[in-house]
């Protein structure tokens, strides 16, 4: 016997609020990732880690909000504390792995596919790990095809969002990418809920709490604080113009690439030394010995100096 599942017991406000939180986390996380592409290397890991934390907090906040509207007819619902608290940690670590790939490898197809896949799997992992924390007098079952569809939504949406960030500059692409990421997370969540079936009378787990909605509401403080700190850091950070890498004396600059590099650095040429002879004091004469010239050239060892660039 299957229980009747209601994912909108609090009305349409629950999915809308969850979508807004997921989009906010996506915008803040991807904005940190976009700025890290133009950040000196010592600061890059910190920016990427902050972006991953914001993204993971947005997804977890969306999950907590939408699950307040989850109900099964005639069944009390509770959540395992340890598993629920592990959701944002696991999701943020996986999101960090995907964002770091794109942050350090740029817009290559392999980097986008790898980073987008790992980031999308982080969205799905947050949801399914959270559902594993659900405790009720029944057994949760899933339709395999719909589960695969939910994971595909997350992976495709995350890949598209990361592609927008690394391939386009400006605030507008980041906002669009954040909306895509938030929509992918919310769409994945409700697609996964559509795959859920509750078998009444299964192996249910015991429960100690009688107010799961209050428990979820209290947990919302954590992602709220993470998103607030990220917003303060992002808004208080001074904007820096992209440096002109063409060097002095150039009238124009090349268009900026996806990672913020403007043109190619001009080669710094060393001044040419006078054509000295073997004594290093007198220049070669018109009739100088060719053997002496060859000996002087071949005596210089070592590799070329690649630091001239």
d(CA 175, CA 158): 14
pTM of the model: 0.71
Residue 276, CA atoms < 13 Å, CB-side half-sphere: 8
Closest CA to 99 of 85, 80, 81, 118: 118
Q: What is the pLDDT of residue 3?
A: 67
d(CA 123, CA 29): 13
Q: What is the 3-state secondary structure (H, E, C) of 158-208?
A: HHHHHHHHHHCCCHHHHHHHHHHHHHHHHHHHHHHHHCEEEEECCCCCCCC
Q: What is the pLDDT of residue 70?
A: 85
Q: What is the pLDDT of residue 74?
A: 78
pLDDT tens, N- to C-terminus, the chain (309 residues): 666 777 777 778 889 999 999 999 999 999 998 888 776 677 788 889 999 999 999 999 999 999 888 888 878 888 888 888 898 899 899 999 999 998 888 778 899 999 999 999 999 999 999 999 888 888 888 999 999 999 999 999 999 999 999 888 888 999 999 999 999 999 999 999 999 988 876 554 544 444 577 778 888 898 999 999 999 988 887 655 444 444 444 444 444 444 444 333 333 444 555 555 555 555 555 555 555 554 444 443 433 332 322
Structure tokens at 173: 């692409």
Q: What is the pLDDT of residue 244?
A: 41
């Amino acid at each position: 016997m299957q229980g009747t599942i209601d994912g909108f017991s609090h009305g349409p406000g629950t999915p809308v609020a969850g979508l807004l939180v997921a989009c906010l986390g996506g915008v803040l996380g991807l904005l940190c990732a976009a700025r890290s592409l133009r950040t000196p290397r010592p600061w890059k890991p910190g920016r990427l880690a902050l972006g991953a934390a914001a993204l993971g907090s947005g997804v977890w906040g969306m999950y907590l909000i939408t699950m307040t509207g989850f109900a099964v007819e005639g069944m009390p619902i509770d959540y395992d504390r340890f598993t629920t608290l592990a959701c944002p940690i696991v999701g943020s670590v996986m999101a960090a792995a995907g964002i770091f790939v794109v942050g350090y490898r740029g817009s290559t197809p392999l980097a986008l596919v790898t980073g987008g896949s790992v980031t999308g799997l982080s969205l799905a992992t947050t949801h399914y790990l959270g559902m594993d924390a659900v405790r009720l007098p029944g057994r949760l079952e899933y339709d395999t095809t719909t589960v695969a569809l939910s994971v595909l939504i997350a992976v495709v949406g995350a890949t598209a969002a990361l592609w927008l960030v690394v391939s386009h500059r400006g605030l507008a692409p980041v906002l669009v990418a954040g909306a895509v990421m938030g929509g992918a997370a919310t769409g994945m969540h409700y697609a996964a809920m559509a795959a859920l079936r509750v078998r009444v009378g299964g192996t249910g787990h015991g429960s100690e709490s009688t107010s799961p909605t209050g428990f979820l509401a209290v947990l919302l403080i954590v992602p709220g604080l993470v998103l607030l700190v990220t917003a303060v850091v992002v808004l208080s950070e001074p904007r820096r113009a992209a440096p002109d890498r063409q060097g002095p004396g150039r009238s124009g600059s090349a268009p900026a690439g996806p990672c913020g590099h403007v043109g190619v650095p001009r080669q710094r040429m060393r001044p040419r030394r006078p054509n000295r002879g073997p004594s290093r004091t007198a220049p070669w004469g018109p009739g100088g010995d060719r053997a002496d010239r060859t000996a002087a050239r071949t005596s210089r060892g070592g590799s070329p100096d690649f630091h001239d660039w």
